[in-house]
Structure 1
């Protein structure tokens, strides 16, 4: 980072804000992206419930959630998000060919992944889904899933802003896993 730009590295445990002390042992303390976001403790607190819904309670289900996140991370050119969600995607049963396809054209994907990826692409390009795209997503994952897809894209676009603006390092456990088992190529 150029010397004229401020640096917001991940906060160490001894720097962790007292205002969000209880969040350090949970999701916020586990990942560098949230340790960077902890420079603004009130935002981490406010973000906590939304993040829990998007990541844990989503109507998309684990695999479709990872499809949406991976497509978003790729489109946002956010290597931190791509790396983390290659590992998470594998953990929930996505194989490397399926993961790699999410970097490519819609016609090279599984049909259900293409529905979700098209929706991600449309949201990122114009902030809206056509009637057909809405119907396709609802048919695949329900009305709740449609709203959760939009929330997931919004969540990971925000995180992409953080990881790219502040050059957030990939967490050591993820880097080690990807060194052992490299990410798939598109």
Structure 2
């Protein structure tokens, strides 16, 4: 048995999660890699649904969290996918690029969110000051979703980087045609 886990093709897709193949899981290499462990992929589905579609952060703030987490963890797969997704939400390239830099150089709310991400990646906790500022700006549900999103994408980065999961062809082509 190889210790590499290439994304599974349709012919190798596990029967235990057959219902997920036609949805989100069959669309991206990250979940095709995770399908090597069907129980994990099945358990992952509910949290993914919440964080991707129902987060109290809303779509743009979620992308700020995900992009900053990708930068902090040097997770190229996540960065690439979420640059494309952020653009589709209407975020411009200057804003997206700013998420690579110092929080003080970003728009104020993005900088606050990036500071929270940075603290979570470095210390697995928000400082009391950052927590208070985030609670005042975003509300408690959004702060909890911010923390959960950083954790979620940290786990994904670990899977992606450990197994060298390739960026999906459609995303790679889109970024080749329109680099950031």
Normalised by the length of structure 2, the TM-score is 0.97
Q: Does 1:79 align with 2:76?
A: yes
Residues 7-48 of structure 1: per-residue CA shift (max 9 Å, x gap): 100000010000000000111110000000000000000010
Distance 1:142 1:92 in 2: 22
Aligned to 1:124: 121
Work out which of the residue numbers 175, 179, 182 in structure 1 matches 2:176: 179
1:91-102 superposed matches below 5 A: 91-102=88-99
1:2-17 superposed matches below 5 A: 6-17=3-14
Distance 2:20 2:32 in 1: 10
Distance 1:48 1:121 in 2: 26
Distance 1:94 1:143 in 2: 25
Aligned to 1:50: 47
CA RMSD of aligned residues (A): 1.1
Secondary structure of the corresponding residue to residue 60 of structure 1: coil
Work out which of the residue numbers 57, 66, 75 in structure 2 matches 1:60: 57
Between stretches 131-140 and 91-100, larger displacement belongs to 131-140
The number of residues matched between the two structures is: 180
Question: Unmatched 5+ residue regions in structure 1?
Answer: none
Work out which of the residue numbers 154, 158, 162 in structure 1 matches 2:155: 158
Distance 1:54 1:63 in 2: 12
Distance 1:140 1:91 in 2: 25
Residues 149-179 of structure 1: per-residue CA shift (max 9 Å, x gap): 0010000000000110011010011011111
Between stretches 138-147 and 111-120, larger displacement belongs to 138-147
Normalised by the length of structure 1, the TM-score is 0.94
Distance 2:152 2:126 in 1: 17
The alpha carbon displacement at 1:140 in A equals: 2.0
Question: Unmatched 5+ residue regions in structure 2?
Answer: none
Q: Does 1:25 align with 2:9?
A: no
Residues 41-69 of structure 1: per-residue CA shift (max 9 Å, x gap): 00000010011111111000110000000
